[in-house]
Amino acid sequence: MKPKPLSHKTENTYRFLTFAERLGNVNIDIIHRIDRTASYDEDVETYFFEALLKWRELNLTEHFGKFYKEVIDKCQSFNQLVYHQNEIVQSLKTHLQIRNSLAYQPLLDLVVQLARDLQTDFYPHFEDFFLTITSILETQDTELLEWAFTSLSYLYKYLWRLMVKDMSKIYSLYSTLLAHKKLHIRNFAAESFTFLMRKVSDKNALFNLMFLDLNEHPEKVEGVGQLLFEMCKGVRNMFHSCTGQALKLLLQKLGPVTETETQLPWILVGETLKTMAKSSVVYIYKEHFGVFFDCLQESLLELHNKVTEANCCENSEQMRRLLETYLIVVKHGSGSKITRPADVCGVLSEALQTASLSTSCRKTLLDVVSALLLAENVSLPETLIKETVEKVFESKFERRSVLDFSEVMFAMKQFEQLFLPSFLLYIENCFLMDNSVVSDEALAILAKLILHKAPPPTAGSMAIEKYPLVFSQQTVGSYLKQRKADSKRRKEQFPVLSHLLSIVQLPPNKDATYLSRSWAALVVLPHLRPLEKEKTISLVSCFIESLFLAVDRGSFGKGHLFVLCQAVNTLLSLEESSELLHLVPVGRVKHLVLTFPTEPSVLLLADLYYQRLALCGCKGPLSEEALMELFPKLQANISTGVSKIRLLTIRILNHFDIRLPVSMEDDGLSERQSAFAILRQAELVPATVSDYREKLLHLRKLRHDVVQGAVPQGRLQEVPLRYLLGMLYVNFSALWDPVIELISSHAYGMENKQFWNVCYEHLEKAASHAEKELHKDVRDEESTGDESWEQTQEGDVGDLYQQQLALKTDCRERLDHTNFRFLLWRALAKFPERVEPRSRELSPLFLRFINNEYYPADLQVAPTQDLRKKGRGAVAEEEEEEEPAAGEDEELEEEAVPTEDAP
């Protein structure tokens, strides 16, 4: 084979560039461009004529040829050019207005050369040329965009001495591009105007002009922000030398405290600076960002020192706008642009002590502090972090703002050492106030902390974590002395514990809002230190019993079951011995499971409860006889499509001891796994591309001939088959064929009647679900318990409770019942000789499919069609008519009962 030459490349030399890539290659920076020195002939007197001769050789299009003939005899000398300038200008404008011209590049260059020649005489024509050039910007041709903006940049460069004297007119003309709907036009416009901006000596007047223009044209905000960035942008990812002076002036324009001469649109000025900051953090390297932080810190300290009672409102709003810019810089890259973090932290600590700040300003300040303390690329001394945190809690900021700040800080490194002590002191003081709203807010933030740091287990196998919340009187800091000053409010030794114990109870009336507070208290209680363990266990046990009684009476809602699960979880974390059997009788749990076999809260409660009994070695409640009492109600869960219910059910069943059949190969040295243990292992492996092979290894242990030694005779023989049928719900096609093969093994291995009972049950369910999907009969699930208890919870605790209730009890998964049925019928085709004897049961299913699904879906083949048009009103009327009819039927049935009993 002939070897490839060295010149052969693995990639194409030329490849298609997207529009964004072509825009990125556009260069309109004429400031750092070196112009080639022109070599004139003796008879060449003008730049225009020289360029005309050059382009005559480079551009041979018809468009340029016409223009060349019009002007060639009018520009051969400077005197000629000046004399015929109006005719040349008119020719340029005329030819630039030709759509899709092939002479744009030479014409735009000739405009620049004409401006170089005429200078002052050209300036009156600038406006007309500007409008003509900007009219051709609506194009996807990036080369044309580059030519147009380069032309404008050169015009600014050569006419700047005239333009800076007339900035009001020039800016009003140019700034229309800053409001253009296309981002790249706005960016190119900002870049092209940079040279002229830097040439203006009175930047204060220029900035006032720009910001006052925003009053009438607020849509220019982003463009002006980009323009300011381009002015301060230097080479090699550095700031320009004018940045220090310009940025100080800009920061003064944020509000009336520092800008006393002109009334500016302060909010729009703030938005402009935010846009500038966003562009700056992307382009400027960290080592060159010091000047930006210096200006920000100087401005912040100036506002801090200038605050008075008279200007506190204006000062707060101006500081908030400054802090919003600060926040952008601090947050970017998780603090990657902060050059001197200790100085930044010190300035922010001083700002925390500013008097009379508004709520919004305080919130923004805390956002900046939290962003700094959480930044991964920032290293601060521990003492400085601790001081800053203490200053936050010592400040007189609104409680809501401080609690929101605390919640954000849960993710902080070394949270327990540097943040938690001061936080617990603040929370303890909240509980000391005689205010239920404050106590609820404090309880909510403690519950959020526990849910973040040591969430309650979602399965019995998870360890119950402890996260000590130490509320002791021996705590450091002046903050504690300040809180101890009011001795009248410290009547209780441990106010937090006393408050939590007081709300762990059911209200005498149907006050469902009280339920959320009890739940939050149960979440927090096991983690409190010090804790009166005996009293707490007794109280929680009584609360559990009252919940069980409420369930027995039917006076409960889904929330009661959720809180009951949390109460049992709390009791398990407090009581680690077999005393649990006396505190929560096994009969109570069994009755609950039999009553609500598909309720996630009940299943989790049972999993936690039976897991503890297994660990304590309680044999009686975990016998096979006890299992068979629960199995009839739980067996349907094994094949459900809802993974949460399926896993919890398998876990519950796996806790029981079952007598496995005697195996001839059993040597007694290795312990055999039960079928439930195999199911649990298979369920814990996710169905993903990387893990599905491992899942199949466990599923293959459920083949009929293999699993016989892991399941006793009787009804439990159905368990492997039910689980395999449930696997057809898993939305991972690589599993389906192997699972169908395993189902086939049970079809041939099991007794036909037993196999068919399970299979037909699932075929019928699949048909019902598929019909509902076809007719879009998406009805809400039947509510659990008394709906009057399902009230909207209020306050922080209520919001958290509702969020967790929905998260832990929501079983709505996107199940494809139609595909499940299709896979079931596909499986039947694998063992036709086992299915054929059951044709009497299969035929009605087929006819049901024809009538209920096939005909309604395709009216072309339907034997009948309902032509009556039903509107919403007609449907509503029918429903109203049906309701009394149903009531009449019930009355007739009630009247019919005595007649049947009559002799």
Per residue in 539-588, pLDDT tens? Answer: 999 999 999 999 988 878 888 999 999 999 999 999 887 788 889 999 99
pLDDT exceeds cutoff 70 at 38: no
Under DSSP, the state recorded for 13 is S
Judgement on whether residues 97 and 59 belong to the same structural domain of the protein: yes
Cβ atoms within 10 Å, residue 892: 9
If asked whether residues 193 and 270 sit together in one domain, one would say no
Q: Please tell me whether residues 173 and 251 are part of one structural domain.
A: no
Q: Is residue 502 part of a domain?
A: no
Q: Are residues 219 and 86 in the same domain?
A: no
Counting every residue written for the chain, the total comes to 903
Judgement on whether residues 59 and 148 belong to the same structural domain of the protein? yes
- pLDDT band at 511, cuts 50/70/90? low
Q: Last residue of a domain, which of 418, 441, 473?
A: 418
CA geometry: angle at 516 spanning 512 and 519, to 5°? 130
Q: Are 375 and 332 in contact (CB under 8 A)?
A: no
Rounded CA gap, 149 and 111, in Å? Answer: 12
**Whole-angstrom Cα distance, residue 257 to residue 318?**
8
Q: Are 444 and 797 in contact (CB under 8 A)?
A: yes
Can you tell me the mean pLDDT for 32-56? Answer: 70
C-alpha span between 273 and 318 (Å, rounded): 12
More confident residue, 15 or 896: 15
Assess whether pLDDT exceeds 60 at residue 9.
no
Instruction: Label residue 820 left, alpha or beta by phi (over 0 means left) and psi (-120 to 50 means alpha).
Output: alpha
- Give the contacts of 82 (CB within 8 A, at least 6 positions apart): 118, 121
Q: Which range marks the domain in which residue 236 is found?
A: 202-418
Higher per-residue pLDDT: 178 or 894: 178
Q: What is the spatial distance between Cα 288 and Cα 266, in angstroms, rounded to a whole number?
A: 28
Q: What is the DSSP letter of 34?
A: P
How many CB atoms are closer than 10 A to CB 29?
Answer: 16
pLDDT digits (tens, 9 = 90+) for 870-897: 555 444 444 444 444 444 444 434 344 3
Angle at 555 between CA 554 and CA 560, to 5 degrees: 100
Paired tokens of 194: 């940079």
Per-residue pLDDT at 97: 94
Q: What's the rounded mean pLDDT across residues 159-184?
A: 92
Q: For residue 391, which of 351, 360, 450 has the smallest C-alpha distance?
A: 351
* 514, 506 contact by CB (below 8 A): yes
Res. 364: pLDDT tops 90: yes
Calpha distance 497→530 (Å, rounded): 8
Gap between the Cα atoms of 856 and 21, Å rounded: 52
User: How far is residue 844's CA from residue 764's CA, in Å, rounded to a whole number?
Assistant: 10
Cβ atoms of 603 and 645 within 8 Å: the answer is: yes
* Site of tokens 């106590």: 439
Report how far residue 320's alpha carbon sits from residue 318's, in angstroms, rounded to the nearest whole number. 5
Mean of the pLDDT values across residues 787-813? 80
Q: How far is CA 450 from the centre of its chain?
A: 22
Pairwise pLDDT comparison (789 vs 846), residue with the higher score: 846
| The last residue of a domain, from among 174, 199, 224 | 199
Higher pLDDT, 132 or 894: 132
Token duo for residue 314: 């204006």
At 599, give phi and psi (nearest 5°). Answer: -85, 120
Q: Examine residue 181 and state whether it is found in any structural domain, yes or no.
A: yes
Residue 115 lies in a domain: yes
- Does one domain contain both 55 and 114? yes
Quick one: pLDDT at residue 869?
A: 64
Q: Are residues 375 and 410 in the same domain?
A: yes
When pLDDT is averaged across residues 433-437 and rounded to a whole number, the result is 88
CATH of residue 81: 1.25.10
**What percentage of residues in the chain have a pLDDT greater than 70?**
85
Report the pLDDT value the prediction gives residue 665, as an integer from 0 to 100: 58
pLDDT above 80 (res 868): no
pLDDT reported for residue 698: 95
Strand partners, 469: 528
List the single range of 31-45, 277-291, 391-405, 808-822 with lowest mean pLDDT. 31-45
Mean pLDDT of 108-113: 96
Instruction: Dump pLDDT digits (tens) for 290-324.
Output: 999 999 999 999 999 998 888 889 999 999 999 99
pLDDT reported for residue 889: 44
Question: How would DSSP label each residue in 283-345?
Answer: HS-GGG-HHHHHHHHHHHHHHHHH--TTTHHHHHHHHHHHHHHHHHHHHGGGTTT-S-HHHHH
Which residues are CB-neighbours of 873 under 8 A, at least 6 positions away?
none
pLDDT digits (tens, 9 = 90+) for 751-771: 989 999 999 999 999 889 888
In the structure, what pLDDT confidence band is assigned to residue 495 with cuts at 50, 70 and 90?
Answer: confident
Question: How many CA atoms lie within 13 Å of 792's alpha carbon, on the beta-carbon side?
Answer: 2
φ, ψ at 508 (rounded to 5°) = -65, -30
**Alpha carbon distances (Å) from 476 to 532, 706, 803:** 24, 65, 36
pLDDT at 750: 92
Whether 193 and 209 map to the same domain: the answer is: no
Burial of 173-190, coded b for 16+ CB within 10 Å and e otherwise, reads ebbebbbbeeebbbbbbb
Percent of the chain with pLDDT over 90: 67
- pLDDT score at 668: 52
Query: Do 301 and 379 reside in the same domain of the chain?
Result: yes
In angstroms, the CA 271 to CA 248 distance is 16
Classify burial at 463, counting beta carbons within 10 Å of its beta carbon; exposed 0-12, middle 13-18, buried 19 or more.
Answer: exposed
Q: Which two tokens stand for residue 192?
A: 């092209």
Distances (CA, A) of 42 to 48, 50, 80, 846: 15, 12, 16, 101
- Is 686 part of any domain? no
Looking at residues 22-37, what average pLDDT do you find?
59
Residue 368 in any domain: the answer is yes
Alpha carbon 883 to its chain's center: 45
SS3 724: helix
Q: Quick one: pLDDT at residue 897?
A: 39
Q: How many CB atoms lie within 10 A of CB 234?
A: 14
Please report whether residue 83 resides in a domain: yes
> Is 488's pLDDT higher than 90?
no
Question: Residue range 601-622: average pLDDT?
Answer: 92
In this structure, of 28-42, 805-819, 834-848, the range with the lowest mean pLDDT score is 28-42
Is 63:85 a contact under the CB 8 Å cutoff?
Answer: no
Instruction: State both tokens at 102.
Output: 């092939």
- What are the tokens at 875? 């449907």
How far is C-alpha 142 from the geometric centre of its chain's CA atoms? 36
Q: Total domain count for the chain?
A: 2
Task: Out of 392, 418, 444, pick the residue that ends a domain.
Answer: 418
Pair 224, 373 in one domain: yes
Cβ burial of 2 (10 Å; 0-12, 13-18, 19+) is exposed
H helices within 419-509, ranges in order? 420-432, 436-453, 478-484, 495-502
pLDDT at 901: 40
Pinpoint the alpha helices (H) of 175-289.
183-192, 194-199, 203-216, 221-232, 243-252, 266-283
| 228 and 264 share one domain | yes
808 has a pLDDT exceeding 60: yes
pLDDT digits (tens, 9 = 90+) for 191-213: 888 889 999 999 999 999 999 99
Instruction: Work out the angle at residue 547's Cα, subtended by the Cα atoms of residues 545 and 553, and round it to the nearest 5 degrees.
Output: 105
Residue 21 has pLDDT above 80, yes or no: no
Parallel/antiparallel/unpaired status of strands 528-529 and 469-470? parallel
Joined together, the tokens standing for residue 727 give 């696997």
Residue 211 belongs to some domain of the structure? yes
Ramachandran quadrant class, 582 (left: phi over 0; alpha: psi -120 to 50; beta: rest)? alpha
Mean pLDDT, the chain, rounded, equals 86
User: For residue 821, what pLDDT band results from cuts at 50, 70 and 90?
Assistant: very high
DSSP state for residue 775 in the 8-state scheme: T
CA distance 384 to 79: 74
pLDDT of residue 902: 37
What pTM did the predictor assign?
A: 0.83
| Span of 7-16, 369-378, 443-452, 673-682 with lowest mean pLDDT | 7-16
Asked if the model's pLDDT at residue 900 lies above 80, the reply is: no
Tokens of 442: 């404090």
- Kindly state whether residue 144 falls inside one of the protein's structural domains: yes
Higher-pLDDT residue of 592, 192: 592
What mean pLDDT do residues 775-785 have?
A: 54
Same domain (yes/no): 183, 42: yes
pLDDT at 355 over 90: no
